[in-house]
Homo-oligomer: A and B are copies of this chain.
Amino acid sequence: MTSAHTPGPRVPHRTAAPDETAALFKDAFRTHPAGVAVITAAGADGPIGLTASSVASVSVDPPALAFSVSGGHAASQLAQAETAIVHLMGADQLELVRAFATSGAPRFTDDHDWSVLESGEPLLHDAPWALRCELLHKVPVGGSVLMAAEVLGIRPGGDHGSPLVYHDRTFHALGEHSRVA
């Protein structure tokens, strides 16, 4: 036990070794588990979409969420969009999640059900949850953009199956087998 005023471990300051901090930062978040979403929008040249592991609830009244995107064509198109659909994905949608996570992989194909809403965003029909959002705040952070979005409408899908988790470059499914007392 250490009382509040006993000298204890320290957190090194970044300026001492910025490269080392960046490496530790990657290590830390590689092992921080996250739910998986596919975010779609109407791009300038057609529908765009990407897999994101940064989606989190922010507020219930009004319903709002946050996520961040960085790099690549889909991310830059999304950063310019006014609305988007955030699809929360389950373990049954792993193939779709991988397609939207892989650079250059075909995304809007006949291999899965999707359609374009009257408002322009592509909807993935198999997603357990589809949340249509207005992108209200876009905060540049480094080379990324942190977005806060108000939820305009929600479509619950059919069978929700096992929740999907991304962790240390692998996917995990939750259930009774993973539950802790």
Contacts and interface: CB of A to CB of B under 8 A. Distances in A.
Contact of A180 (B55, B88, B94): B94
A178 B177 contact: yes
Most buried by B among A12, A66, A180: A66
Contacts of A31: 88, 128-129, 160, 163
Nearest to A94: B180
A33 B165 contact: yes
B179 A172 contact: yes
A44 interface: no
Given A123-B11, A172-B174, A163 B33 contact: yes
Interface in A110-142: 110-118, 122-123, 125, 128-132, 136-137, 139, 141-142
A158 to B, nearest CB: 10
Q: Chain copies in the assembly?
A: 2
Interface residues of A, number: 101
Interface in A1-29: 1-14, 16, 21-22, 24-29
A138 to B, nearest CB: 10
Interface in A81-110: 85, 88, 91, 94, 108, 110
